[in-house]
Structure 1
């Protein structure tokens, strides 16, 4: 059952003009699938729906295959904004080579077991060190030949992994190491930190998209479950945490809905739009 809190009765009328939703742990279930209920609701919502995700551009394929039509997407935690109808990247914010070199040096000096990878070519390709766990086979994913290759081109995201650290402690450590040189966040249940250029967050990407569409923050409802969603939830006029959300996410959200496995986003939208 949904746990609606802090914003009155569920189903109260809101003047939402845009729905912004995370994907993993939010819109899809633990099997990485959209339920039929969620698919139906997304098709019935009378306002635009935008995906705001830590996923790279290439990982949209598995979601779009389940949808009647692809949705606009803000990828890599705000670094890449993509229009699926024109197959066009509208905006990219990258970590420069100079910043990458600096950040990689700091991480290698401070974290003995760190393993690193980068999202490049707007998130269409992924380069990683040999120590990075290879969880899938994809021609767009490859191991680097030399350490310098990791910083050879600008990246939309740098990823740092520790096999021994606590996930929250590792994020705190990396954030201290970086200072104001870059943005650090996490969306994984493991000790995996995602690093973006300074100022790049889900909130910044969504704000750019909404300004382009003439939509104010107060007209946006946003859904999320992990720390990388916090800037977006704080920016949006109305924020909803999933029932399975990280405690820090629940703490900043206006309301909490059901879990991703219980169609929390669909349930909330049905009530909000009287679907």
Structure 2
């Protein structure tokens, strides 16, 4: 990448967002200054749409977002989903049936309504949104797989995610994409061909931007397709080994504002008082 990028794509959790779920004033300021110069800044995340407000509340202006690992492209200015690539109910039924047979103790949840609602097995551990009325507990496998879902989630107790994702992928046999973005044993499943790279590629095509004109930041295996696609791939210092292996550069950790530090150097931004 000989010139400055036309687009900056960044993962959120573990990359732009600190461990305490905050975005530092420094980071918010750097993103705003770059956007003001005319460079597009896009958030590319595994989060559902309903969790974006926690981020927007800490930024100067809301940024476009590619959510659910590439399945949803969201415009915060109009509160509209511009593109969605869900798993169809018949595919969901087949996938969950296979995984229930292959993975003892498996429990499932699905992100539906373009990620504005979560439906889950009765045994699913509800860690977030516990008091949110948009969560609906569905006790039967048929109900979990009854409507299109932009993401299917599977847990089976606490497992090593790198090993567990291989088990899930083998059971899927190419029917869908399996990845992970945490160390808790949660595996995220999308429709075949749906990745952060695919979502970002569609967004860039709408704006006439080539991969070589993109710098991307990430920290976990679900970021690997995006980082491989982008002209410059940057891992934060706390990144998973799979991300560090394919990155062109490594910056500071998320808690050290690694994305902001890298962009300050890249765009030659002077420090603000």
TM class, shorter-length: over 0.9
Out of 29, 33, 40, the position equivalent to 1:44 is 33
RMSD: 1.1
2:93 is the alignment partner of 1:104: no
**Cross-structure match for 2:230:** 236
Q: Which whole-Å CA distance do the structure 1 matches of 2:159 and 2:15 have between them?
A: 25
Larger RCO (CA within 8 A; separation ≥ 6): 1
Query: Which of 137, 148, 169 is the aligned partner of 1:143?
Result: 137
Q: Does 1:173 align with 2:162?
A: no
1:68 aligns to 2:68 (yes or no): no
What's the TM-score, normalizing by structure 2?
0.95
Deviations 1:228-270 (A, max 9, x none): 0000000000000010000000001101000000000000000
Question: 1: CA distance between counterparts of 2:210 and 2:233?
Answer: 14
CA distance in structure 2 between the partners assigned to 1:260 and 1:60 by the alignment: 18
> Is the contact between residue 13 and residue 272 of structure 1 (CA under 8 Å) also seen in structure 2?
no
Matched, 1:58 2:50: yes
- In the superposition, relative to structure 1, how do residues 129 and 143 fare at CA in structure 2: closer, same or farther (>3 Å)? same
Segments ≥4 residues shifted beyond 6 Å: none
The one of 2, 15, 30 equivalent to 1:26 is 15
Query: Following TM superposition, by how much is the alpha carbon of 1:189 offset from its aligned partner in structure 2, in angstroms?
Result: 1.2
Alignment of 1:1-275 (within 5 A): 14-45=3-34, 46=37, 47-136=39-128, 137=130, 138-275=132-269
Alignment TM-score, normalising by the size of structure 1 = 0.94
Counterpart contact for 1:14–1:272, Cα < 8 Å = no
**Kept in 2: contact 1:162–1:191 (CA 8 A):** yes
SS of the residue corresponding to residue 52 of structure 2 reads helix
Q: Once the 2 structures are TM-superposed, how far is the Cα of residue 14 of structure 1 from its aligned partner?
A: 3.6
Q: Distance in 1 between matches of 2:249 and 2:80?
A: 34
Secondary structure of the residue aligned to 1:58 is helix
How big is the shift at 1:27? 0.4
- SS of 2:252's equivalent in the other structure is coil
CA-to-aligned-CA distance 1:152-189 (integer Å, 9 cap, x gap): 10100000012142111101110111121000010011
